[in-house]
Amino acid sequence: MASEVKLDQLDSVLSEFEYPISRDEAISQTEDITLILAEGTENLGEIISQTSDDRFVSADDLETEVMNFLPRHSVGEPYQSEGEG
């Protein structure tokens, strides 16, 4: 069943998996999930397939890897600081 998930809800999706989890199993379980980003969408399984880790020991571990491989436009305008103004 395909689903769409906002980026700020990613942790709740990943916390449903049983850890440790192999990269192949994580890809399999997420290949039908579309992440809704600040600008556009990305397939979660495809993002995980780009990682180099063979195994993830926790949801936090997997989420960190996903965040590292998201395109720059995922969280909004690049080089913008929320602290200025």
Reported as type and span, the H/E element at residue 21 is strand 21-22
Position 58 scores a pLDDT of 97
Q: What is the pTM of this model?
A: 0.81
Tens digit of pLDDT for each residue in 21-33?
999 999 999 999 9
Collapsed DSSP state (helix, strand, coil) of residue 74? helix
